[in-house]
Structure 1
Amino acid sequence: MDAMQPPRNDEPARMEPLAKLPVFWALEGRRVVVAGATDGAMWKAELLAACGACVDVYAEACDETFEAFLDRTPEHPAASIALNRRRWAPADLDGAALAIGDCEDEAEARAFVAAARAVGVPVNVIDKPEFCEFQFGSIVNRSPVIVAISTDGAAPILAQTIRRKIETLLPKSLKVWAALAQSLRDAVNRRLEPGPRRRVFWERFADRVFSTMDTPEEGVGGVLLADAERLAGAPAIGRVTLVGAGPGDAELLTLKAVRALQAADVILFDDLVSADVLELARREAKRMLVGKRGGRESCRQDDINAMMVKLAKAGKRVVRLKSGDPMVFGRAGEEITHLDRENIPVDVVPGITAASAMASRLGLSLTHRDHAQSLRLVTGHSRHGGLPDDVDWAGVADRRSTTVFYMGGRTAGLIAEKLVGEGLPPETPVVIMSDVSRPTERSWRGTLATIPEGITAIGYDNPVLIAVGDALAARQVSAGSIDTSSIDSSRPLAACAG
C-alpha cells in the first residue's frame, strides 16, 4: 500500500445536511425594496440600512413611529431610506438587490413573489415562510464580526436564546479587535505567504483577542506586524499533535482537542473516530483514514509513522486523531519515539479513555472505597490475537481491584478461565459494553461464570470493554436490584479501544 494513499472508503462526510445555506450578502450602495410600513417592515428596513443599502419603502400610509424612523439619518454612510407613498408596483422591483414584502394576504404575497421572480430578485415575505427564498436570522453584532443564527423557522425563540448565550461569550472589545485585523490584513498578506505561517499569525492574534476583555492598546498593530516579520523568516517546520478523540461522543472532547482539530492542515484519524468528532475539524483540513481494526484493510504502523514525518517536514500541522486517549493502548509511544528520532515537534492532547466513559455510563466508581483500592487497564489480546503471554494473571485476579480489559471480545472466555483459575470467585460481577457513548452502545451485566453468554449477547463486531470486580455491583446492591443475568441494552453512547 502506498504510504500516502490509505484506505478512504469509510471516511465520513465532511458536511452534514443543511436546512439553509448561511450567506453574508454585501448590500453597500445597492437598492433594496421594502413593501409595507408595519413594525416588521421597519425593522427590516433598519437592518438593511445598517448594511449600507439604499432602501426604497413603498407604502400608502405609515404611522408616527415609522415617520420618526424615516427622519433619522442612517448610521452607515452609504445608506439611505426613501418613502414612496403608494402601493408597490412590479416595475419597482426591477434592478433591486433584494425584495422584502409585508403582505396582508396570500394573494398579495403570491403577486409580490411572482413579480420579484420575474426580474430575478431574491424575495422574502415577512412572517410567511412558504413565500421566502431567504430568511433573516437572529444576529450578534460585533461588526465586522457578525454571527447569525437560524432555526429554519422551526423555533424563533430558540434562536433568540442562542443569540443571548453567544452575546455573553463574545466581548464587546471584539468589534475593535476585528477592525484592527481588517486594517492589518493587507500588510500581513504582503509579509506572509498563504499557508502555515500566515495561519499561525492569525491564531496568535485570536489568542490575544480572547485573553483580554480590553480593546487593543496603542501601538499593538506595530507589535503584531513585527511578529509577522519574524514568522516570515522562521523555518517551515511542521509539528504533530496526538489528540484523544474520546470514546465517540463529541461532547466529551476537551477544548484543547477542538482547538487542535481547528488548526490542523492534515488529520490522520483512526477507524473508530466518530463522524461527530470529525465535524469539529477545520473544513480545509485534509482527512486521511488510517484505521487499524481486526479483519479490515488498514495502514501499517510504519506507514503511519512515515506519513506523519513526511507531512510535518513539508511544514504541515498534523493531528494524529486517536479514539479514546492516545496514551492508553493507542501506540502513542511508538509514534512519539519515531517523531523524536526525526526531530519533529510533537505534543499530546489527552482524551477520555473508554474505561472512564464506561464508568460514567454505569454511574459507578471503579475505585469505590468499599470494594477496590486500585484500577487496572489490561489489553485483552496480544499482537497475534490471543491472550497476552506477559500479563501477571495472579496479580490481576485481585478482589481489591477493578480490572478493565480493552479489546477482549474474542478472548472473553479465556479471560474468565484465567481469572477463575487464579482464585477469583466465579460470582465476581462483570460488565461488558460495546460502542461506549455512541448511539449503538450495548451493555450486559453478569458474572465471570456467565461471561460466554454475555459476549454472545454483545457480539464481537464493535469495540468491547470487559470490566471485572466487586465495585461493579456497588450501586445495584445499594438499590436492591443487582442482576447477574444477561441484560442487553441499547442506549445512546460510544466505544473505542483507547
Structure 2
Amino acid sequence: MNYLPLFLDLKSKNVLIVGAGEVAFNKIRLLLRAKAKVNVIARELCSEVKCLLKQKKIKWISREFNSIYLNKIFLVIAATNNLKLNEYVFKSCNDRHLLVNVVDDKSKCSFIFPSIIDRSPIIIALSSGGTAPVLLRFLREKIESILPMKLGDVAKISGKWRNVIKKHFNNLLERRRFWEKLFKSLFVEHVLNGNKEKATEILKKTMNQDSFLRGEIILVGAGPGDSGLLTLRGLQILQQADVVLYDCLVSQDILDLIRRDAKRIYVGKRAGLKSITQDKIIKLLIFLARQGKKVVRLKGGDPFIFGRGGEEIEAAKNAGIDFQVIPGITSAIGIAAYTGIPLTHRKYAQGVIFITGHKCKNGLLNNFSILCDPSYTLVVYMATLHAVEISQKLIMHGRLKSTPIAIVGKGTTVNQKVIIGRLDEIKKMINFSITPSLLIIGEVVLLHKKLKWFHTSNIFNDIYNKSSIVKFI
C-alpha cells in the first residue's frame, strides 16, 4: 500500500490554492463541497473562479505567493504552469510539515486526490496511486452503476437511530447483528423507494425482536492460493466474521479480505514444526462460538478434502452449535487448471483419485492395486512427505517407472513452480521442489507443455534432460 487512505474533515479549515485556472477551479469546487475555507493566490482568475469570488465563496488573498501565507493553513494545492513556483510551494510546505499537492506532479505530493463516488454521507474513494487513471475511471463507472443514488439516505436514517440502538443493545455483538439483520431486510428497499415511514417501522420491529446471541461456526474454503479463486459466498462470510481461525496455507491476499476489526487467530499446522493440535483447535472453535460469536474456520483449498473439516463440524454438531460449510476450490482442481494439466481426459485418464502424503490413522492403508491403474490420474496432497515411498509402492504394484509426474509448488500463485519428470525420478525431483506442493501422477501430465497458460518462473532442471519423458518440455 503506497498511500494510506484517509478522509479529512475540512469543514471551516483554511486551505490555500496557488493558481486560478481551470484545473484549480476543479479543485476549488471539490474543496467547497467539503465546506473548506478556500484562499486563492494567483495573478489572474479564470471566469469560473471570478464567479466564486463574486459569490463570496472564496478569498483572493494575493497575486504573488509568499511563504508567509502558509500560516494557519491546513493543506495546500499548487495548480500553476510555473514549474519553479510549484517547486517553491512544495519546498515551503515540506519545511512546515504541511500537506501539499502539486497537480500532475506525483513527486511533489504528500497527498493525492482519489476518484470519488459521492453518496453522502457515504463516500467511496478510489486510487491507483497515479499509475492507471484510465483503469480507475473504468472501475469508478462500474461501481457508480451498482450503487443506488439514494444509498446515502440509508446511512442518514441509520445515523439518526445509532444512539437509540446503542442504548437498546449494550453488547457490541448484539448491535452488529441488529445492523446486519436490518440491512438485509426490506428496510433498505423502502428507503431507496422513498418510503421512509415504512422503513422506520421495520427498524423498530427489528429492534424489538429477540436479540439473543447465538454463536455459529462456519468452515470456509480459501481455495488453492490465488485470492481470485475465493468464492463470492466465502468473501461475504469473511466480511461478517467476528473471529477467524486460519491455516498456514491461506494467502495474505485472502487474509486482507477479512473484516478489518475481526479477530484473527493463526492455527496453522506444518509437518515437522511445533504447532497447535487439532483437539485444541476444535475446543477453541466451540469456546468462541459459545460466546455468541460468528467464528470462521478458514482453510486452504476445500474444508472437506484433507482439511479435517468433517471432524470440526462433527464436534460443532455434538456441542449443539450451529454451523455452515462454504466449499472452496480444492488444491488439486485449482492447481491442475493453473498448470494446464487436465485431471481427466478421454485419451489419457478416465478418472482421478485424491490421496494424502500423510499416513492415515486407525490402520487405514492405501489400496495400491487400485492406485497403480494407469487409466486413473493420481493426485497426492502434501506430496513431499512420503512421495518416495508412494512411488516405490506404485512401481511395485505395476505402475510403469516411466509414468509422467509433476510436482507443483505454491500452485496458482505468482511463485508457482512446476517440475516435470518420471515416477522413478521422484527422489531427485523433490530436491528441487518447494512447499506446499502437490504431486500429479499420470499420462495427463504430458499435456502440460501444450496447455500451460499461467506464466510463472517454472523450473525444469537439467538433470531431467536425458529423460525420455521430459524431452517435450
| TM interval, short-chain normalised | 0.7 to 0.9
Counterpart of 2:427 (choices 433, 452, 465) is 452
CA contact (8 A) 2:101 2:111 kept: yes
> Relative to structure 1, is the Cα distance of residues 207 and 363 closer, same or farther in structure 2, using a 3 angstrom cutoff?
farther
For residue 442 of structure 2, what is the aligned residue in structure 1?
469
Deviation at 1:389, TM superposition (A): 4.3
Counterpart of 2:208 (choices 229, 239, 248) is 229
**Alpha-carbon distance in structure 2 between the residues aligned to 1:367 and 1:110:** 63
**Alpha-carbon distance in structure 1 between the residues aligned to 2:187 and 2:139:** 20
Deviation at 1:454, TM superposition (A): 2.5
> Relative to structure 1, is the Cα distance of residues 90 and 431 closer, same or farther in structure 2, using a 3 angstrom cutoff?
closer
For residue 245 of structure 1, what is the aligned residue in structure 2?
222
For residue 468 of structure 2, what is the aligned residue in structure 1?
none
Number of matched residues?
454
Counterpart of 2:341 (choices 361, 364, 384) is 364
For residue 304 of structure 1, what is the aligned residue in structure 2?
281
> Relative to structure 1, is the Cα distance of residues 117 and 357 closer, same or farther in structure 2, using a 3 angstrom cutoff?
closer
For residue 495 of structure 1, what is the aligned residue in structure 2?
none
Superposed CA RMSD in Å reads 3.1
For residue 22 of structure 1, what is the aligned residue in structure 2?
5
For residue 456 of structure 2, what is the aligned residue in structure 1?
none
Sequence identity percentage: 34
Alignment of 1:164-243 (within 5 A): 164-207=141-184, 215-216=192-193, 218=195, 219-230=198-209, 233-243=210-220
CA contact (8 A) 2:340 2:447 kept: no
**Alpha-carbon distance in structure 2 between the residues aligned to 1:83 and 1:441:** 59
Q: For residues 347-379 of structure 1, what are the alpha-carbon distances to aligned partners after superposition, in whole Å with 9 as ceiling and x for unaligned?
A: 111111111122112223212123322221112
Counterpart of 1:409 (choices 375, 384, 399) is 384
> Relative to structure 1, is the Cα distance of residues 202 and 62 closer, same or farther in structure 2, using a 3 angstrom cutoff?
same
Alignment of 1:362-401 (within 5 A): 362-383=339-360, 389-401=364-376
> Relative to structure 1, is the Cα distance of residues 466 and 89 closer, same or farther in structure 2, using a 3 angstrom cutoff?
closer
Q: Which deviates the most, 243-252 or 61-70? A: 61-70
Secondary structure, counterpart of 1:326 in structure 2: coil
Alignment of 1:92-131 (within 5 A): 92-113=69-90, 121-131=98-108
Which runs of 5 or more residues in structure 2 are unaligned?
Answer: 453-458, 463-473
> Relative to structure 1, is the Cα distance of residues 214 and 237 closer, same or farther in structure 2, using a 3 angstrom cutoff?
closer
CA contact (8 A) 1:269 1:291 kept: yes
- TM normalised by structure 2 equals 0.86
Counterpart of 1:41 (choices 24, 46, 70) is 24
Alignment pair present for 1:51 and 2:11: no
CA contact (8 A) 1:187 1:225 kept: no
- TM normalised by structure 1 equals 0.82
CA contact (8 A) 2:40 2:59 kept: yes
For residue 262 of structure 1, what is the aligned residue in structure 2?
239
For residue 470 of structure 2, what is the aligned residue in structure 1?
none
Q: Which has the higher contact order (CA 8 A, sep 6+)?
A: 1
Alignment of 1:72-151 (within 5 A): 80-84=57-61, 86-88=63-65, 90-113=67-90, 121-151=98-128
CA contact (8 A) 1:380 1:388 kept: no
Q: For residues 353-410 of structure 1, what are the alpha-carbon distances to aligned partners after superposition, in whole Å with 9 as ceiling and x for unaligned?
A: 11112211222321212332222111223157xx974322212222222221112323
CA contact (8 A) 1:196 1:317 kept: no
CA contact (8 A) 1:431 1:472 kept: yes
CA contact (8 A) 1:381 1:388 kept: no
What one-letter code is carried by the residue in structure 2 that aligns with 1:28? K
> Relative to structure 1, is the Cα distance of residues 210 and 427 closer, same or farther in structure 2, using a 3 angstrom cutoff?
farther
Secondary structure, counterpart of 2:236 in structure 1: helix
**Alpha-carbon distance in structure 2 between the residues aligned to 1:261 and 1:120:** 39
Deviation at 1:121, TM superposition (A): 4.8
Deviation at 1:326, TM superposition (A): 0.5
**Alpha-carbon distance in structure 1 between the residues aligned to 2:187 and 2:137:** 24
**Alpha-carbon distance in structure 2 between the residues aligned to 1:418 and 1:447:** 15
For residue 329 of structure 1, what is the aligned residue in structure 2?
306
Secondary structure, counterpart of 2:431 in structure 1: helix
Deviation at 1:269, TM superposition (A): 1.1
Secondary structure, counterpart of 2:385 in structure 1: helix
**Alpha-carbon distance in structure 1 between the residues aligned to 2:451 and 2:141:** 43
CA contact (8 A) 1:442 1:488 kept: no
For residue 8 of structure 1, what is the aligned residue in structure 2?
none
Q: Which deviates the most, 297-306 or 94-103? A: 94-103
CA contact (8 A) 2:153 2:191 kept: no
For residue 323 of structure 2, what is the aligned residue in structure 1?
346
> Relative to structure 1, is the Cα distance of residues 408 and 117 closer, same or farther in structure 2, using a 3 angstrom cutoff?
closer
